[in-house]
Chains A and B, each alone.
Chain A
């Protein structure tokens, strides 16, 4: 139970927030996109943080999921859940096919290849007007419904999105502590050493790439149904960068770090709106400063700071930083 303490804490927060602040814009609107971003960031973190494979094109998978859902539900009138499954299947296949050649690359070459993949998908979304509606986007996407329970209000979306987020976080935590998760972390340390220990590195890398892509596709489908309208702008290179920033800002190789990063980066622009024209500049400056002075990430950095403070206060009661804490944070 100790391993999942963080998850329970997050679940508690999710339940308490709308009770404390009913009808608050920041809870029912901003927190919903924060939860959506958290799903994406947790998936990307499996790839970047744990396996050490950078991706600058994650928005592509988000986009493929969203557009598959949108096209299938608006043009063929099929059930949204079926469309969501189709999106996941399609994204999974694309990721599976692309994984082998792309994941052979390393460092900046891998960054470039994933960036290229993201750009190609976005250009296709803009250009294939007959199918995607082109730059004007695609509207009239029906809302989700669960056994007759229509997800049509902000509060209901809050419930759905945060439940999915908790599920994804839970799955990610379990995956990391499983046999494949350990293989993944070994791979990050040294690919050659992992291979020597009998880990099939290609299969492990392909697996995590597909899982990251699938979670992005799931988020994309939810996004499409929530917004009821999508356009290629939401799936651009900048969004990929934003996702990478969420992961790095929170602290790589920490699932709760990714969630934290997603929340910070979703709320920050909302708060910076008061600075109007200075918004872009301040955002860039914060990003730079944070990475220069807290390269291990906000969440991990703050956690370390907190632990040091606690130790100074009560050295007798906390003889050593509890080893389980590491798992809790993982």
Chain B
């Protein structure tokens, strides 16, 4: 039983790490521009799908180059999304921006369907398929890649926002756009950076997890929703809270799939999310906000 639990925990952390990256992307965009980006899951899909497309076949690119290009493509998509869909609609209501990003996600899915078709693809594992045994539980090398990659990126994002001038400038924009503008910060550029960074995180999540979960043109939908749930669970305004929310959601799902029912695992995740919202409306790690009149 203890071994089984260990196995569930390992799986949960791997899945949770992916959710954490998507949720981190959600939180960054939300902080920078007050937009809940429903196209976040599509970043994951585009990253994974373009990596597969670039590295596949006999004359495909070597793996590291393909991965780098795939991430770059996704960052470009993120920047274009901000420039041509979000920026023109500045000052729009919450519902309007939600519909815009939903439209964007449908559009990107449509493009992916057109380019890559409906097939399911797999990316080869980065360093072999030899399972690692920990007691009775097993772990694929790719799981370690996912966990390690997520850890590095989360620390990197933390460092970016707390130690670099650009990171602090992005934070300044999220606190007060006008004040940041008056301080000589190029607000438009900072928004592009925030979306680019968020797309980068999504793409990295995509390429890291693609060897384990496979990918297809509609793989982003569920991941996007899970990432949104994780971000809300942790508290929308708090990036590190979003990461914690992601890990927690992954663990909840994995444990309930193993111990209760695999069919209901998503439902259990959502029930816990609702309960958290009912009793702590600002998320587990978010600060309670008071509405000013």
Binding site for B on A (CB under 8 A): 48, 54, 101-102, 104-109, 111-113, 115-117, 119-120, 123-124, 126-127, 190, 192-193, 237, 241, 244-245, 248-249, 252, 277-293, 295
Contacts of B95 in A (CB 8 A): 48, 54, 244, 248, 252
| Residues of the A chain whose Cβ atoms lie less than 8 Å from the Cβ of B264 | 123, 127
Q: Which residue of B lies closest to A100 (CB)?
A: B278
Q: A116-B270, A237-B225 are contacts. A291–B92 as well, Cβ < 8 Å? A: yes
8 A–B contacts from the bound complex (CB under 8 Å): A111-B98, A123-B264, A127-B264, A280-B110, A289-B103, A291-B92, A292-B88, A293-B88
Whole-angstrom distance between the Cβ of A79 and the nearest chain B Cβ: 32
**Contact in complex: A244, B110 (CB < 8 Å):** no
Q: Which residues of B contact A48 (CB under 8 A)?
A: 95
Task: Check A292–B232 contact: CB distance below 8 A.
Answer: no
CB of B6 within 8 A of chain A?
no
User: How close is A241's CB to chain B, nearest CB, in angstroms?
Assistant: 6
Say yes or no: B113 contacts A280, CB within 8 Å.
Answer: yes
Distance in Å: Cβ of B280 to nearest Cβ of chain A: 10
Q: Taking CB as reference atom, which chain B residue is nearest A279?
A: B110
Q: A123-B263, A193-B293 are in contact. List 7 more A-B contacts (CB 8 A).
A: A101-B278, A192-B291, A241-B102, A249-B99, A281-B113, A284-B105, A292-B89
- Taken together as a complex, chains A and B put the C-alpha atoms of A181 and B93 apart, in Å, by 22
The CA of A126 and the CA of B111, in the complex, are separated in Å by 29
Please indicate the chain B residues that have their CB under 8 angstroms from the CB of A124 in the complex: 267
B89 touches A291 (CB 8 A): yes
Total number of B residues with any Cβ neighbor in A under 8 Å: 46
Among residues of B, the one whose C-beta sits closest to the C-beta of A237 is: B225
Is the beta-carbon distance between A284 and B277 smaller than 8 angstroms? no
* B166 CB–A CB distance under 8 Å: no
Tell whether, in the assembled complex, residue A112 and residue B273 are in contact, meaning their CB atoms are under 8 Å apart: yes
* B236 interface hit (Cβ, 8 Å): yes
Is the CB–CB distance between A295 and B96 below 8 Å? yes
Residue in contact with B229 in the complex, picked from A106, A112, A123, CB distance below 8 Å: A112
Within 8 Å by CB of B266, from A107, A123, A281, lies A123
List B residues 243-293 near A (Cβ within 8 Å).
261, 263-264, 266-267, 270-271, 273-274, 277-278, 281-283, 291, 293
Interface contact B92-A119, CB-CB below 8 Å: no
Check if A109 sits within 8 Å of B277, measured CB to CB. Answer: yes
Query: Which residues of the other chain, B, contact A106 by a CB distance below 8 angstroms?
Result: 291
Contact assessment for B106 and A284 in the assembled complex, using a CB-CB cutoff below 8 Å = yes
* Nearest-Cβ distance from residue B53 to partner chain A, whole angstroms: 17
With contact pairs A116-B229, A295-B92 given, residues A287 and B106 touching in the complex (Cβ less than 8 Å): yes
Contact B266 A119 (CB under 8 A): yes
In the complex, A237→B41 CA distance in Å?
Answer: 15
Is B273 touching A281 in the complex (CB atoms < 8 A)?
Answer: no
Pick from A101, A127, A289, A293: contact of B263, CB below 8 A. A127
- A101-B275 Cα distance, complex, nearest whole Å: 9
| C-alpha gap A102/B276 in the complex (Å) | 11
- A109–B282 CB distance below 8 A: yes
Interface check B192, CB cutoff 8 A: no
The distance in angstroms between the C-alpha atoms of A28 and B291, with both chains bound, is 49
Find the B residue at minimum CB distance from A190: B293
B107 lies within 8 A of A284 (CB) = yes
B43 at the interface (CB under 8 A from A): no
B114 CB-CB contact with A under 8 Å: yes
Flag if A295 contacts B93 (CB, 8 Å): yes
A245-B270 in contact (CB<8A): no
CB distance from B97 to the nearest CB of A (A): 8
With both beta carbons as reference points, the residue of chain B lying nearest to A104 in the complex is identified as B281
Residue B100 is within 8 A (CB to CB) of chain A in the complex: yes
Whole-angstrom distance between the Cβ of B119 and the nearest chain A Cβ: 14
Q: Across the interface, do B277 and A112 meet the contact criterion of CB distance under 8 Å?
A: yes
Using CB atoms, name the residue of chain B closest to A297.
Answer: B96
Instruction: State A126–B267 Cα separation when bound (angstroms).
Output: 11
Would you call B94 an interface residue if the criterion is a C-beta within 8 Å of the partner chain's C-beta atoms?
yes
Bound-state CA distance A192–B232 (Å) is 25
Residues of chain A contacted by B99 (CB below 8 angstroms):
244-245, 248-249, 287, 291
Question: Which of chain A's residues have a CB closer than 8 A to the CB of B282?
Answer: 109
Query: In chain B, what residue has the closest Cβ to A293?
Result: B88
Q: State whether the Cβ of B45 lies closer than 8 Å to any Cβ in chain A.
A: no
- Give the Cβ gap from A43 to chain B, nearest Cβ, in Å: 16
For the complex, give the distance between the alpha carbons of A280 and B293 in Å. 42
Residues of B within 8 A of A290 (CB): 103
Shortest Cβ distance from residue A191 to the other chain B in the assembled complex, whole angstroms:
8
Cβ B103 vs Cβ A287 within 8 A: yes
Task: Check B187 for interface membership: any CB of A closer than 8 A.
Answer: no
List residues of chain B with CB within 8 A of the CB of A116. 229, 270-271, 273-274, 277
Are B225 and A119 interface neighbours, CB within 8 A? yes
In-complex Cβ contact of B106 among A249, A277, A280, A289 (8 A): A280
Chain A proximity of B111: nearest CB distance (Å): 6
Q: Does B195 contact A (CB under 8 A)?
A: no
Judged by a CB distance under 8 angstroms, whether B8 is at the interface is no
CB distance from B153 to the nearest CB of A (A): 24
Shortest C-beta distance, A127 to chain B (Å), equals 4
Q: Look across to chain A and name the residue whose beta carbon is closest to the beta carbon of B93.
A: A295
Query: Is B48 among interface residues, defined by CB-CB distance under 8 A?
Result: no
Q: How far is the CB of A298 from chain B (nearest CB, A)?
A: 12
Cα distance A317–B89 in the bound complex, in angstroms: 36
Contacts of B106 in A (CB 8 A): 280, 283-284, 287
